Amino acid sequence: MGYDEVIGYLGDFGRYQKQIYFLLCLPAISCAFHKLAGVFLLAKPDFRCVLPFEHEQNVSYELPAHIWKLSYPPTELGDKFQTCEYYNANYTFDYLNGSTPNSANGTAQCSAYVYDKSQYENSAVTEWNMVCHRSLLAATSDSLFMVGVLLGSIIFGQLSDKYGRKPIFFASLVIQVIFGILAGIAPEYFTYTISRMIIGATTSGVFLVAYVIAMEMVGPSRRLFAGVACQMFFSVGFMLTAGFAYFIHDWRWLQIALTLPGLAFMCYHWIIPESARWLLSKGRKSEAVVVIQKAAKVNGVVIPSEVYDNLIDEEEEKKKQETKDPNEKAPNVFDLLKYPNLRRKTLLIFFDWFVNSGTYYGLSWNTNNLGGNVLLNFMISGAVEIPGYTFLLFTLNRWGRRTILCGCMLAAGVALLLTVIVPADTNWLIIALAMFGKLAITAAYGTIYIFSAEQFPTVVRNVGLGASSMMARVGGILAPYLNLLGQIWRPLPLIICGALAFTGGLLSLLLPETHNKPMLETIADGEMFGKKQRKCDVAENGEELAVIMAGKNGKPNGEAA
């Protein structure tokens, strides 16, 4: 008897599971602080060069309109000024008053900058002048944060499988607090960026490990609700980040303030149990029994003693399976690419993860480029995620995974592409379309987790989801550079995200529906699932399956769709 049978006695979502689940969802708020903080930590306000006649210490961003025209060259569109350079002229009193003709000898590069402080008191960008030719540094910092998220998902995921969920959760939490404070007091760019990258890694150790603990103690009938509701806590953290930024205008104090709530989770050490499912998998049956008994007591149920006696030592069972055929190789991610139908589905899933992650973070970090009130845009961007996830709760088990994934990605694509035809003087409509696109891509992102798990066979499900997550991180790593394009033309990031989302939605129609279908177990099941066949091929299926399972031929005889 395994842990799934024990759930039948405890209840799928009893009082004990609800209490622990709620506590484990709260760290998602703290992780959202760190993932979205870059919007404000690396905020780039309007700026201009300090002109030769100005004193850097006392200079103000504001200038009379005629001095702007005399000092800075216009952009190609002529509606703004190129503030990364200024006219190389003799800035005399007569010149600035227009009494003498324009005697500028070309342009000169900035040696110092002055920033508009109407929205931001300061940021890491203004402190280290990451503008103009140094603007790539800010994008690289955000990109390296996502590199940290990628590395953390690999490192902390493996450590939690080896040493347990609970110790890795707390180790990640301690590291997150230490480097969160270090990022806030960093004396220069390199220390700040490395600290933020390590923080990115710990978000995987804190959020993902807590998510795994929570999901491992919830029964099958409540896993959809539990998985989606946990994401809503992340959305709450998204919105609260704007609240911190509203009251704290210094980027260093903001970084520290967003880190300190992590200290509250230290008390979880005496509250959160180790995953009973993991304990059983490691042969620590007596410890698992203690956890199960505590849950049973809180839930007010009595578990028969024979249930504890019959609990299977899953680790021993695995060893027995391994000794049956020592020559049999363990399945790996390359098995997903050996066979044509399975390879086609795998590549489509990888692309969907890449697009969903890139679009989600691209839109989340692009609020500064939308115009209008930055804090309000950011707050709405987080708020629209709640109806997106709520939509999944009511539709995912009714309309099917593919319908929701394709529909949401297409809706996001259309909304974002429509921004190209919106007149510049109706900025509110651009913001509305961007927010609808964010809502739709959030729903699609929530769907792809479940849809992918049902597409991959059991023997390679973990490695398949791990590889998919890596593709998602690649999308997140590229998102900051995508948003740099908004400095060239404001709608450009939205258009690129829209085109990718629309393409991904269309391609997802090629994936088979998994709703109410049995879970795939073997590589052969994965290859045959969703495969169109001719009637004359049906008799050959048995031979084809045998060939695939034996691994003798990487090219099955059946005709792929």
The string over 266-282, giving b where at least 16 C-beta atoms fall within 10 Å of a residue's C-beta and e elsewhere, is: eebeeebbbbbbbbbbb
Which of the residue ranges 5-14, 286-295, 393-402, 434-443 would you say has the lowest mean pLDDT?
A: 5-14
pTM for this predicted structure: 0.84
> Rounded to whole angstroms, how far apart are CA atoms 161 and 281?
10
Same fold across 1-40+133-315 and 324-561: yes
List the one residue out of 194, 88, 183 whose CA is nearest residue 148.
Answer: 194
pLDDT at 56 over 70: no
Q: How confident is the model at residue 317 (pLDDT cuts 50, 70, 90)?
A: low
Percent of the chain with pLDDT over 70: 87
Supply the pLDDT for residue 532. 65
How far apart CA 482 and CA 416 sit, in angstroms, is 14
Of residues 74 and 412, more confidence is placed in 412
What is the pLDDT, as a whole number, of residue 537? 42
Q: What CATH fold (topology level) applies to the domain 324-561?
A: Growth Hormone; Chain: A; (1.20.1250)
Extract the tokens encoding 121: 């008191």
pLDDT in tens, 121-157: 899 999 999 998 898 999 999 999 999 999 988 888 7
- Give 380's pLDDT tier (boundaries 50, 70, 90): very high
170-215: pLDDT as tens digits: 999 999 999 999 999 999 999 999 999 999 999 988 888 888 888 7
CA distance 361 to 204: 16
Task: Spell out the alpha helix ranges (H) of 400-460.
Answer: 401-417, 427-455
R_g of the chain, CA atoms, integer Å: 27
Distance CA 228, CA 231 (A): 5
**Could you tell me how far CA 337 lies from the centroid of its own chain?**
25
Single-letter residue type at 460? V
- Whether the CB-CB separation of 46 and 81 falls below 8 Å is answered with no
Q: What is the pLDDT of residues 494-549, one digit of tens each?
A: 999 999 999 999 999 999 988 878 767 678 877 888 776 444 443 444 454 444 44
Q: Within 13 A of 464's CA, how many CA atoms are on the CB side? A: 28
- Map 190-208 to HEC letters: HHHHHHHHHHHHHHHHHHH
Residues 206-225 have a mean pLDDT of: 81
Report pLDDT for 319. Answer: 52
Rounded Cα–Cα distance for residues 341 and 550 (Å): 17
Task: Tell me what the mean pLDDT of segment 89-94 comes to.
Answer: 78
What was the pLDDT predicted at 96?
Answer: 77
What residues contact residue 471 under an 8 Å CB cut-off, 6+ apart?
350, 351, 353, 354, 357
Could you tell me the pLDDT band of residue 224, with boundaries at 50, 70 and 90? confident
**pLDDT digit string (tens) for 276-312?**
888 887 888 888 888 888 988 998 888 888 777 777 6
- Topology classification of domain 1-40+133-315: Growth Hormone; Chain: A; (1.20.1250)
Identify the pLDDT of residue 555: 42
The 10s digit of each residue's pLDDT in 417-470 is 998 888 877 888 989 999 999 999 999 998 888 888 788 886 777 678 778 888
Closest CA relative to residue 492, chosen from 476, 506, 504, 481: 481
Q: Where are the domains of the chain?
A: 1-40+133-315, 46-116, 324-561
For residues 497 and 362, the answer to whether their CB atoms sit within 8 Å is: yes
Alpha carbon distance 192, 459 (integer Å): 41
Nearest alpha-carbon partner for 163 in 293, 281, 317: 281
- Interatomic CA distance for residues 536 and 549, integer angstroms: 22
In the chain, % of residues over pLDDT 90: 37
